[in-house]
């Protein structure tokens, strides 16, 4: 049986990510929380994301030339990763390929994260428009 991992390609190399039981134990010890909690928080917490990446890059026989999560995080940014949605999606996909959640659950989590981020930015736009309407009152400038 072939070992399952999450393949990521960039700069002409393929990186194979998988969160093994040993990696999960290391994360639990480091953060004092359930591994899934670390995965969920990693989308918005660069320290957790880097720790998650370090563990996911360092499994036996991974063949990865980079195993430092901070270095890999910077590579991901160079490859175009931006924002909580992209990094959250990576964390959820990693959890799915490592057996922590199903692929369907990963998709649901990504959809929920997308909706939450979209709502946050919609709310940022909303108050400014409401304030302008309040200032303009019933009359608009000529």
Flag whether 1 is in a domain. Answer: no
Flag whether 142 is in a domain. Answer: no
Flag whether 124 is in a domain. Answer: yes
Overall domain count for the chain: 1
pTM listed for this prediction:
0.82
Cα gap 22→47, rounded to integer Å: 19
Flag whether 141 is in a domain. Answer: no
Has residue 137 got a pLDDT over 60? no
Measured CA distances, 129 to 119, 122, 133 (Å):
16, 11, 6
Q: Which domain holds residue 120?
A: 6-136
pLDDT in tens, 47-92: 999 999 999 999 999 999 999 999 999 999 999 988 888 999 999 9
């Amino acid at each position: 049986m072939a070992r399952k991992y999450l393949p990521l390609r960039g700069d002409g190399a393929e990186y194979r990510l998988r969160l093994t039981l040993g990696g999960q134990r290391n994360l639990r010890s480091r953060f004092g929380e359930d591994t899934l909690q670390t995965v969920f928080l990693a989308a918005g917490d660069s320290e957790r994301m880097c720790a998650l990446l370090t563990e996911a890059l360092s499994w036996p026989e991974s063949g990865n030339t980079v195993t430092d999560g901070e270095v890999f995080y910077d590579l991901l940014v160079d490859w175009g990763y931006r924002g909580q949605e992209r990094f959250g999606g990576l964390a959820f996909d990693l959890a799915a390929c490592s057996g922590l959640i199903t692929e369907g659950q990963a998709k649901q989590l990504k959809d929920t994260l997308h909706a939450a981020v979209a709502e946050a930015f919609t709310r940022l736009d909303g108050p400014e428009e409401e304030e302008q309407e309040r200032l303009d009152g019933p009359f608009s400038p000529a």
